[in-house]
Amino acid sequence: MKFIKKFIVSAVCLVSMCGCEMRTDIIPQYNLSNSQTEQEYAEISAETVCQGMQEQLSVENFDAYFDMRIDSEMIKDGVALFKNKNPDFFWLNGYTIVTDNKSTKIKFNILNNYSPDEIRTMHDELIAAADNITALAQNYESSYEKILFVHDYIINNTDYDFAGADSGQNGIWGTSYGCIVNGHAVCQGYSEAFLMIMNNLGIECGVCAGDSDRGRHAWNYVCLDGKYYWLDITWDDPESDENEEGNLEHKYFLIDDEMLFRTRTLDENQIFIPKCNSLDDNYFVRNNCFMDYYSADETGEKMLEYAENHEISIMFPSYGVYNEAVYSLFEDGDIWSALSYVGEFSEIKYSTDDIMYVITITF
Q: What is the pLDDT of residues 132-173, one digit of tens each?
A: 999 999 999 999 999 999 999 999 999 999 999 999 889 999
Can you give the residue ranges of every domain in the chain?
A: 5-113, 117-284, 288-362
- Lowest mean pLDDT across 65-69, 129-133, 268-272: 268-272
Could you read off the pLDDT of 31-61 as tens digits, one per residue? 333 333 455 777 889 999 999 999 999 999 9
Q: 117-284: what CATH class?
A: alpha beta
Could you read off the pLDDT of 54-102 as tens digits, one per residue? 999 999 999 999 999 999 999 999 999 999 999 999 999 999 999 888 8
Stretch 297-303: mean pLDDT? 97
pLDDT at position 110 over 90: yes
pLDDT at position 180 over 70: yes
**Three-state SS annotation for the chain:** CCCCEEEEEECCCCCCECCCCECCCECCCEECCCCCCCCCCCCCCHHHHHHHHHHHCCCCCCEEEECCCCCHHHHHHHHHHHHHHCCCCCCEEEEEEEEECCCEEEEEEEHHHCCHHHHHHHHHHHHHHHHHHHHHHCCCCCHHHHHHHHHHHHHHHCEECHHHHHHCCCCHHHCHHHHHHHCEECHHHHHHHHHHHHHHHCCCEEEEEEEECCEEEEEEEEEECCEEEEECHHHHCHHHCCCCCCCCCCCCEEECHHHHCCCEEECCCCCCCCCCCCCCCCHHHHCCCECCCCCHHHHHHHHHHCCCCCEEEEECCCHHHHHHHHHHHHCCCHHHHHHCCCCCCCCCEEEEECCCCEEEEEC
User: What global pTM score does this model have?
Assistant: 0.89
Tell me the pLDDT band of 245, cut-offs 50, 70 and 90: low
Stretch 313-337: mean pLDDT? 97
pLDDT at position 3 over 80: no
